[in-house]
Structure 1
Amino acid sequence: MKAAIIGDPKRSAKYAPDWSIVKETDKVFFDLDAPVEEIVEKAGDADVLLADAIAKVPGELIKRLPGLKLIHSEGVAYNGIDTETAKNCGVPVCNCKGMNAGAVAEQAILLMLGLLRDVVGGNEAEKAGRQLAVKQAMMVSGITDLADCKVGLVGFGDIAVATADRLHAFGSQVFYWNHRRRTPEVESSHHVKFLPLDELLAECDIISLHVAVTPETTGMVNGDFLAKMKPGSYLINTARGDLVDNAALRAALESGQIAGAGLDTVAPEPTTADNPLVDLVPAAGVRVLYSPHVGGITTGSFKRGYRMMWENVQRVAEGKRPERVVNGCL
C-alpha cells in the first residue's frame, strides 16, 4: 500500500495510530502547494491520497493517479477536492465527519462568553490599572448571562448538535434552522426548537453558523441576512469564513447594526492584517473577538480524525467499502 500525503509529516507522526497498516504503508509527503507534476513523479503509483482539509486536490491530479482507490480528507472539510472527477474515476472521497464536533462547539461557546463578558477589554483594563473603573462601568452597562440568551444555530449537523447540548447545560434557549427539519425526537433529545431562518435571525440574541460551504451557502451572511438579525445581537462563526460577505459584516459592525462578532475563521486564509474584517475602525474592532481557526484542531480531534482516516485505509486494503463517503462513489 502506498499513500501520497498532502500535509505535515510531523502531524502525521504525532497523531497517526500505532497500527500495522500505518507502519507498513509507504508514505510520501508533499507540501500543500506541491504541483501536480511533483506528486505524479514521486507517487504516481499511490493507492490512497490523504489530504490536509484545506489542500487542493484537482481533477488533473486524480486522473493521473490511475491506481487510486481512496481520497481522504484529514479533517471534516473536503471542498478543496474535486469530488465529481473522483466519482467519475471511481474513487471514493471520504472525510472525518464528527471528529472535532465537541472541540468546535467549545470554541463557539468560548466566543459567545468572551463577547458577553468582554474578556479582551477586561484583560486590558486589568493590566492598565483600570480594574475598578471598568467594573463600575460594567455594573451600570450590564453583563448578559449566556443563560438569558436565545441562541440560534444556522445548520444542525454534528457541531451544531454538540453546541446545543453544551448550551443546554448553560440554561440557554436554543433554536435552530436547517434545510431539513429534524424529527421531534431529535429536537427533544437536544432541547432545541426549529424556526424558519428569518424568524431565527429576528428572535435570537446570538446567531451561530454551522453549515458547510456550498455554492448556496457561500456569502449567505450578506447585507440582507445581517439586516434581519435582532438589533444588539452577536454573530459567531466557527464554520468557514466563506459563508460571510466580509464587506457586509464590516458595514454591520461599523454601523452598530449588530453588537459584535466572534470569528474563529475569516476568509480568505491565511488571514492578513488588511483583511476588511480585521482592519476595522477602533470602535468596531473592540467588539470583535478572533481566534486563528483553532476550534477543531485539538489533540483529541486529531487523534480521532487520524484513527478514522487510517481505519478507512485499512478497509480499502482489505477490499472493503470505506466509511463516510461524501461523493456518492461505490
Structure 2
Amino acid sequence: MGGERVKIVVWDSIGNTLLGVRPWESWESAVRETLLRENPAAEEVALPLRMLLAGHDIDLTWFNSADAPYAPFGPLYADYAGSLHFTRSIEEIVAAIAEADFLVMHKERLPASAVERARNLRLIQHLGQDCRGVPVETARERGIPVAATPLVNYLTVAEQVWAYMLNWAKRLPAQRVHMTSRGYVDSWHGFPGTRYLGDLKLGLLGMGEIARPIAKVAQAFGMRTRYWDIERFPDLEEAFGMTFMTWDELIASSDVVSMHLALNAQTEGIFGAREIGLLKPSALFINTARGKLVDQTALSEALAAHRIGAVALDVFAAEPLPVDDPLLRLHDVADERVTLTPHNAWQGPWTWVRDSQELWLNVRRALRGEAIQHLV
C-alpha cells in the first residue's frame, strides 16, 4: 500500500473491532450465504479493512489476551503483515500506544499513563458507548479526541429484552391461544392478567452497553428503574431517572430483573439459588448476557415449583440447549411463563459488519481531516 504510513494499535481481546472488516473470502461460507441472501450486494457493503483505509500504508498491531488466534482472521493478518500479539502485559501495550497514531479499543482498561506517554495519538476510538475504561479527561487535557461508536450488536439485544417484557406484560402467547380457540366469542373486551408497565419496577444488574438503552426506553414507559453495578453512574441516574440499589435490594423489590453482566471468574454462577429465592413470586427474570452467570438447575426447579413468575432466556449454561433440558420441557408444554430463544438476540452477522464498519469509517474520517463522529 502506498500513501501515508499510519500506525494503528488495536487492543481488543474479543475481536469485535475487526470481525466485520475481514476480507470477504475469510468469512465462513454459511455466513457469506446469509449475508448475500439478505443483501445481494453484500460483498460491496461488507468492505474489508484494506479497502476502507485504501491509500494509506497501515502498520496494524493487534493486542489480544487470547491463547490462540481465531482462524478466520488469518487473511486480515496477511493483508497487512501485521503483528498479532497474544499478551497480558500492560507494559507492552502501553509502549506500543506511545508510538501509535490511532488506538482502537473494546472493553479494555486504558491507564491514564498510556495517554500521557502517547506522542502521536490522533484519536482514541472505542467500540461501544460504555467507554468507562478510557481516561477521557486525560485525553482531553492532551488534546486527543475520544470517540465511542454505538454497538448495533448490543442494541439488538436491548430490543429483545423489550420484546420479552412486552410479551410477558401483555400476555401475548395466551391472547393468541384465546383467539385461535375462539375463546374471545364470549369475552371480547379485555383479557385477564395483563400488566401496565408504568406500574412496574425494572431492575438492571449491570449498567453497560445493553442496559443503558433499556433504561432509556423504560423511562419513556414510566417504569421505575433501579440498577446495580460495581460502579455508580450519577450522570446516567439523572438522565434516565434511575436509582442505584444494593444487589439484594434490587432483586427482592423489582418486578422485572434483567441480567447484564460480563462472564468471568468472579461472575460465574453469581445469580444462584439464594438470588432466585429473593425474586418476587410474580417477577419476570431475563437473561440475555451469558448462561453461566445463573444457576440454571435452581432456576428450573423454582419455575417448576411456581416460586417465580416467569423467565425469558436467550442464553444457557450449555449451548446448544440439550434437547432434554428441564427448561425446554416447560417451554414445550406452552407454559407462557417460559420464553426461550436460541442465543439470537444479537442478530448477526450484519451487526458485526455495521459495528466494525462504523468504527473504521471514523478512523478514515480522521485520516481525511473530516469531522469525527460519536465524540465523547
Q: Return the TM-score normalized by structure 2.
A: 0.61
- Tell whether 2:179 aligns with 1:126: yes
- Tell whether 2:110 aligns with 1:59: no
Counting only pairs closer than 5 Å after superposition, residues 229-268 of structure 1 correspond to structure 2 as 229-268=279-318
Aligned to 1:217: 267
Larger Rg: 2
Aligned to 1:323: none
Structure 2 counterpart of 1:59, one-letter code: D
Query: Which residue among 145, 149, 157 is the counterpart of 2:196?
Result: 145
Please give the alpha-carbon distance, in whole angstroms, between the structure 2 residues aligned to 1:277 and 1:85. Answer: 42
CA deviation map 1:155-179 (0-9, x unaligned):
0012111100001111111000001
Counting only pairs closer than 5 Å after superposition, residues 132-171 of structure 1 correspond to structure 2 as 132=185, 138-139=191-192, 142-171=193-222
Residue 247 (structure 1) shift: 0.5
The 1:229/1:310 distance shift into structure 2, 3 A limit, reads same
Which segment is superposed worse, 298-307 or 117-126? Answer: 298-307
Structure 2 counterpart of 1:147, one-letter code: G
CA deviation map 1:170-226 (0-9, x unaligned):
11110000011112x321112111000100011100001111111122222211110
When the two chains are superposed, the root-mean-square deviation of aligned CA atoms in Å is 4.2
Q: Is the CA contact (8 Å cut-off) linking 1:103 and 1:298 kept in structure 2? A: no
Across the two proteins, how many residue pairs are aligned to each other? 279
User: What is the DSSP-based 3-state SS (H/G/I as helix, E as strand, rest coil) of the residue aligned with 1:286?
Assistant: coil
Q: Is the CA contact (8 Å cut-off) linking 1:16 and 1:22 kept in structure 2? A: no
Q: Is the CA contact (8 Å cut-off) linking 2:22 and 2:49 kept in structure 1? A: no
Query: Which residue among 99, 104, 107 is the counterpart of 2:151?
Result: 99
| Runs of 5+ consecutive residues of structure 2 not aligned to the other structure | 2-20, 36-41, 98-102, 107-126, 129-149, 369-376
The 1:57/1:248 distance shift into structure 2, 3 A limit, reads same
Identity %: 27
- Tell whether 2:322 aligns with 1:269: no
Q: Is the CA contact (8 Å cut-off) linking 2:175 and 2:191 kept in structure 1? A: no
- Tell whether 2:165 aligns with 1:112: yes
- Tell whether 2:29 aligns with 1:21: no
Please give the alpha-carbon distance, in whole angstroms, between the structure 2 residues aligned to 1:307 and 1:259. Answer: 41
Residue 299 (structure 1) shift: 8.2
Aligned to 1:76: none
The 1:18/1:118 distance shift into structure 2, 3 A limit, reads same
Q: Return the TM-score normalized by structure 1.
A: 0.69
Please give the alpha-carbon distance, in whole angstroms, between the structure 2 residues aligned to 1:88 and 1:23. Answer: 26
Please give the alpha-carbon distance, in whole angstroms, between the structure 2 residues aligned to 1:57 and 1:312. Answer: 25
Residue 257 (structure 1) shift: 1.2
CA deviation map 1:297-323 (0-9, x unaligned):
2787445313146459979x99xxxxx
Aligned to 1:37: none
Q: Is the CA contact (8 Å cut-off) linking 2:169 and 2:196 kept in structure 1? A: yes
Aligned to 1:32: none
Aligned to 2:337: 287
Aligned to 1:52: none
RCO comparison, higher one (Cα < 8 Å, 6+)? 1
Residue 269 (structure 1) shift: 2.3
The 1:61/1:299 distance shift into structure 2, 3 A limit, reads closer
Please give the alpha-carbon distance, in whole angstroms, between the structure 2 residues aligned to 1:217 and 1:274. Answer: 27
